[in-house]
Structure 1
């Protein structure tokens, strides 16, 4: 009876050992499977990150290329602007330098007429007539260039248009009215280039 129990215990121990071995094998197998899955998941994550990194690098490269194009375009614009600026300055200098060329040519014509009148006139009357003709011609030339006399006769004194040299009392004029003109004044179009000097009535 004792031998039989002993035998049963031994059989049970063997079965237990076999069961434990099977369980251990299953655990190891599961661990291998889990490790394999973890590795695959890790590889997929790494691949995903590499793909994202690659796309980011492509975006960076594209932006760098666009940046270079923009900088190049701006540099060309800057160069064009500088060249245009220099050209405008040259033209401005030329305009200032030769602005009065045509006017001087027109005045030279009157100057030569005056010279001829002086040389050819035999009497004071002839000289006067020649000078009056030249004066009329010169005045016409200046008027064509936009020159106008600033009116003063019968005008009320305006400090924006007239320069008062002196004041005087006059029964024939209103207070502030210009009595007479001491020196003429002129304007080109709407710009005063020489103020008329006047005497103003003050009561």
Structure 2
């Protein structure tokens, strides 16, 4: 019996050993799988962190570009308005010249002349509201930045480079000259 039992226990021992080997293999495979899964999780976390940093960088760049665009647009708007006003006023200056000539001419109808004077006054008030100023010329010293000399005269009474007559008034907005005054200068 003892030999028989030994024979019977030998295969059982082998089975137990085989089961232990299988269990160790399964445990080893599970450990490797867990380690691989942990590494994948770590690499996924690193990947997600990298993607987050890239997206944050893109967002910051986009915000900076938008801020630059906003500032540039605001600057352009501020520069366009005075230029548009200057161009518009320049188109109306010949009309103002005609009203000035109408006021200088003789008129038999006093009411008509008064109406033209009211229109001229209203026109000048509108220009004043837009900060348009008439360039002072007659009796002043000639300034090539403000005046355009079209004639010269010899005069004993006027000093050198003094404006003797104004043929066409000049206008400016602030420091920007809309139209130079057309003048006669004494030598």
Normalising by structure 1, we get a TM-score of 0.48
* Cα shift readout 1:9-44 (whole Å, capped 9, x = no counterpart): xxxxxxxxxxxxxxxxxxxxxxxxxxxxxxxxxxxx
Tell me whether 1:134 sits opposite 2:119 in the alignment.
Answer: yes
Return the alpha-carbon distance in structure 2 between the equivalents of residues 126 and 164 of structure 1.
Answer: 37
In the alignment, which residue of structure 2 is the partner of 1:154?
Answer: 139
* RMSD, aligned CA: 4.0
Rg (Cα) greater in structure:
1
How much has 1:189 moved relative to structure 2? Answer: 2.1
Check if 1:64 corresponds to 2:63: no
The offset of 1:195, in angstroms, is 0.4
Structure 1 regions of 5+ residues with no counterpart?
A: 1-52, 108-113, 115-122
Gaps in structure 2 of 5+ consecutive residues: 1-38, 93-98, 100-107
Taking the aligned partners of 2:144 and 2:65, their CA distance within structure 1 comes to 49
Alignment of 1:81-100 (within 5 A): 84=70, 88=73, 92=77
TM-superposed deviation, 1:144 = 1.6
Following TM superposition, where does structure 1 have runs of at least 4 consecutive aligned residues deviating by more than 6 angstroms? Answer: 57-60
TM-score, normalising length: structure 2: 0.52
What residue number does 2:186 align with? 201
Deviations 1:37-96 (A, max 9, x none): xxxxxxxxxxxxxxxx99xx799647624542334324542674587489x48x94xx76
Q: Give the Cα separation in 1 of the matches to 2:71 and 2:159.
A: 55
Report matched runs for 1:105-144 at 5 Å.
124-144=109-129
Distance across 1 between alignment mates of 2:152 and 2:69: 57
What is the CA-CA distance between 1:128 and the residue it aligns to?
1.0
Counterpart CA distance in 1 for 2:143 and 2:156 is 20
